């Protein structure tokens, strides 16, 4: 095995020039990724580096699925390199992921967002001939775990049929999960849909419709993402698979259809959210407290997010949600769906409705029904205290005199691995999990993420994960506040007020400037701050 330093120029060549031979060399030295085993499999990501511009694909319609004996799929090879959130000026070791993309009728290629996370170069490959072409990521939605690719080469997909979405699948139906053998031959694995429900997606904050399958998925090098079909139509994309139970989760066709509709707008609108949480009303004491008559359904509102459509509509904690857009809500928060029967209201709001739609909302308040009106919009992540993900961008940081300051994000906590909720610093986990309980004007959580050993940090070596309240007397609500206060000291010393011990950190201003020059030279850090890259 050649050392990593050999791989870096190869990766650069593949990423920046779209050089296929360089991609082949990279493929020899990087391990391929298998199916995603857990909801947390998606990694952080970096800025999109697209291949050189090429002509737009032709608008000629594609053939129907398998009309010419071919499946509507291509191999997708992705070179990626994630950011290191513990040392945010660095990037991690490059990797190679391989999956299958579904060619749609308009010539675009559908994949999971997990497949293209952190991508530096994306390549399409025809299974039968191994003919390759560079691809560009056109739209990506990490909430819904979906992405669309475009092949700049106008004629690359002309011999491949286009897929349509299935609109008929139900529990108990048999489908086929498609993989590709190294020879290019299709491998068809029968699967049974066992459950249709609203469940978690790889980004923990989100829940969408999920089809659960029972099937024995075989290990193949290009199986990071695999599609499932019924009678030649796309049912969904496998986003998780557990080999112990031989069960998998699909991003299903209704979610895909909503994504494709949103992808047709500029700018991309995303999925609407109501911005509330609720509990069931089965407890007779809760029903009595809410003055809810026997036999009346409804879900008890436990939280309304600031600035959300629910808050704008006037929904309050303690209301009982009775109807949304004419759909009656039962005591468990479900409604009767035309296709799926009883299912969570979250599916109707996020997948059946379009962003910008204004809907009537009926709540039970103070012993009577009240009708409100709300306009659905995607969640505004810019106001969140801790971002649930930071993909396709480098993490922000500020270094002052050897102290490294970062902002809390779920991506930072994931540096502790799959068990981050148990192994990451407890106070940071708590603030991430319960950020909605913080004051509306709290801003970001800024903390000392590490200490670089220089003379000015002597005695502070063990200082880490301490939350910063003030810098030079100024309240800290973002890394920008740190940068501004450090640039405008009031005297010869920086005074940093922490939430816990040691309470106060003093740094000599001139000594800090000298230390920062030394840090650049000794630690190879290109800049003392990186700002403005957040979502």
Q: What is the pLDDT of residues 121-158, one digit of tens each?
A: 999 999 888 899 999 999 999 999 999 999 987 788 88
Q: How many Cβ atoms from other residues are within 10 Å of residue 442's Cβ?
A: 12
Quote the CA–CA distance of 288 and 272 in Å, as a whole number. Answer: 33
Determine how β-strand 504-508 pairs with β-strand 368-375: unpaired
Quote the CA–CA distance of 252 and 256 in Å, as a whole number. Answer: 6
Q: What is the pLDDT of residues 207-217, one digit of tens each?
A: 899 999 999 99
Strand partners, 370: 363
pLDDT of residue 534: 54
CATH of 174-263, one of 1.20.272.10, 2.40.10.10, 1.10.10.10, 3.30.300.30: 2.40.10.10
> What is the CATH T-level fold of the domain 276-375, as seen in this structure?
Pdz3 Domain (2.30.42)
Q: How many Cβ atoms from other residues are within 10 Å of residue 421's Cβ?
A: 15
Quote the CA–CA distance of 448 and 443 in Å, as a whole number. Answer: 16
Q: At what angle are helices 4-17 and 20-29 packed, to 10 degrees?
A: 150
pLDDT of residue 390: 86
Q: Cβ neighbours of residue 235 under 8 Å, at least 6 residues apart?
A: 166, 169, 175, 193, 211, 227, 228, 229, 250, 252, 253
The single residue listed with the structure tokens 């299912």 is 343
Specify the CATH number of the domain 383-530: 3.20.190.20
Quote the CA–CA distance of 399 and 401 in Å, as a whole number. Answer: 7
Q: Pick the closest to residue 400 from 529, 499, 530 (CA basis).
A: 529
Say what the alpha-carbon torsion angle 137, 142, 144, 146 is, to the nearest 10 degrees.
20
| DSSP, res 478 | S
pLDDT of residue 228: 97
- Asked whether 184 and 60 are in contact (CB, 8 A), the reply is no
Q: Cβ neighbours of residue 319 under 8 Å, at least 6 residues apart?
A: 300, 301, 363, 364, 365, 370
E strand segments, 40-163: 73-80, 95-103, 109-111, 119-125, 132-141, 146-150
pLDDT of residue 199: 93
Q: What is the DSSP string of 299-347?
A: EEEEEE-TTSHHHHHT--TT-EEEEETTEE--TTSEEEETTTEEEEHHH
Quote the CA–CA distance of 119 and 136 in Å, as a whole number. Answer: 10
Strand partners, 211: 196, 250
pLDDT of residue 8: 36
Residue stretches of the chain with pLDDT short of 50: 1-67, 535
| DSSP, res 175 | E
- Asked whether 135 and 115 are in contact (CB, 8 A), the reply is no
Please tell me whether residue 26 adopts helix, strand or coil conformation. helix
Where exactly are the structural domains of the chain? 4-150, 174-263, 276-375, 383-530
Quote the CA–CA distance of 192 and 214 in Å, as a whole number. Answer: 5
On the question of a common fold for 4-150 and 174-263, the answer reads yes
Q: How many Cβ atoms from other residues are within 10 Å of residue 183's Cβ?
A: 7
Q: How many residues does the chain have?
A: 535
Quote the CA–CA distance of 116 and 147 in Å, as a whole number. Answer: 8
Specify the CATH number of the domain 4-150: 2.40.10.10
Please tell me whether residue 128 adopts helix, strand or coil conformation. coil
pLDDT of residue 533: 62
| DSSP, res 64 | P
pLDDT of residue 469: 96
pLDDT of residue 221: 76
Distances 83 to 263, 307, 465 between C-alpha atoms, Å: 27, 31, 19
SS (H, E, C) 235-268: EEEEEEEECCCCEEEEEEHHHHHHHHHHHCCCCC
| DSSP, res 151 | -
What stretch of H or E contains 95?
Answer: strand 95-103
User: Which tokens in the block code for residue 214?
Assistant: 């029972």
């Amino acid at each position: 095995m050649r050392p990593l330093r050999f791989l870096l120029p190869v990766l650069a060549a593949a990423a920046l020039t779209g050089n296929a031979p360089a991609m082949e060399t990279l493929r020899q030295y990087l391990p391929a990724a298998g199916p995603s085993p857990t909801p947390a499999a998606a990694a952080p990501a970096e800025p999109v580096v697209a291949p050189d511009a090429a002509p737009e694909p032709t608008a000629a319609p594609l053939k129907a699925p398998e009309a010419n004996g071919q499946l509507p799929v291509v191999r997708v090879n992705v070179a990626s390199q994630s950011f290191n959130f513990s040392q945010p000026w660095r990037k991690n070791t490059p990797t190679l992921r391989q999956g299958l993309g579904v060619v749609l009728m308009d010539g675009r290629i559908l994949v999971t967002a997990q497949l293209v996370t952190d991508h530096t170069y994306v390549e399409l490959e025809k299974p039968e001939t191994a003919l390759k072409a560079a691809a560009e990521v056109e739209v990506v939605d990490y909430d819904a775990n979906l992405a669309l690719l475009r092949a700049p080469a106008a004629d690359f997909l002309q011999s491949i049929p286009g897929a349509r979405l299935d609109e008929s699948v139900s529990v108990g139906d048999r489908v086929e999960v498609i993989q590709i053998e190294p020879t290019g031959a299709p491998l068809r694995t029968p699967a049974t849909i066992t459950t249709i429900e609203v469940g978690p997606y790889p980004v923990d904050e989100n829940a969408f419709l999920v089809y659960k399958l029972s099937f024995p998925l075989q290990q193949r090098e290009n199986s990071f993402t695999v599609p499932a079909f019924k009678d030649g139509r796309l049912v969904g994309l496998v986003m998780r698979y557990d080999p112990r139970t031989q069960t998998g989760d699909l991003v299903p066709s209704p979610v895909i259809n909503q994504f494709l509709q949103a992808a047709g707008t500029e700018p991309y609108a995303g999925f609407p959210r109501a911005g509330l949480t609720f509990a069931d009303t089965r407890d007779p004491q809760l029903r009595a407290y809410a003055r809810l008559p026997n036999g009346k359904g409804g879900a008890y509102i436990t939280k309304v997010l600031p600035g959300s459509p629910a808050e704008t509509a006037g929904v309050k904690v303690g209301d009982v949600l009775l109807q949304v857009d004419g759909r009656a809500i039962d005591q468990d928060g479900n409604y009767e769906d035309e296709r799926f029967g009883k299912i969570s209201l979250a599916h109707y709001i996020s997948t059946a409705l379009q962003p910008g739609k204004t809907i009537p909302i009926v709540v039970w308040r103070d012993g009577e029904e009240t009708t409100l009106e709300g306009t659905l919009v995607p969640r505004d992540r810019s106001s969140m205290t801790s971002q649930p993900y930071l993909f396709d961008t480098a993490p922000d940081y500020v270094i002052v005199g050897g102290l490294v300051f970062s902002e809390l994000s779920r991506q930072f906590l994931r540096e502790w691995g799959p068990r981050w909720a148990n192994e990451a610093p407890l106070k940071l986990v708590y603030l991430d999990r319960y950020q909605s309980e913080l004051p509306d004007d709290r801003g970001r959580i800024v903390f000392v993420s590490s200490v670089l050993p220089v003379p000015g940090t002597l005695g502070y070596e063990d200082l880490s994960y301490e939350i910063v309240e003030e810098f030079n007397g100024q309240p800290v609500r973002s890394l920008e506040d740190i940068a501004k206060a450090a640039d405008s000291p009031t005297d010869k010393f920086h005074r940093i007020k922490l939430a816990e011990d040691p309470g106060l950190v003093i740094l000599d201003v001139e000594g800090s400037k000298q230390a920062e020059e030394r840090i650049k030279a000794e630690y190879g850090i290109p800049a003392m701050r990186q700002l403005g890259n957040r979502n």
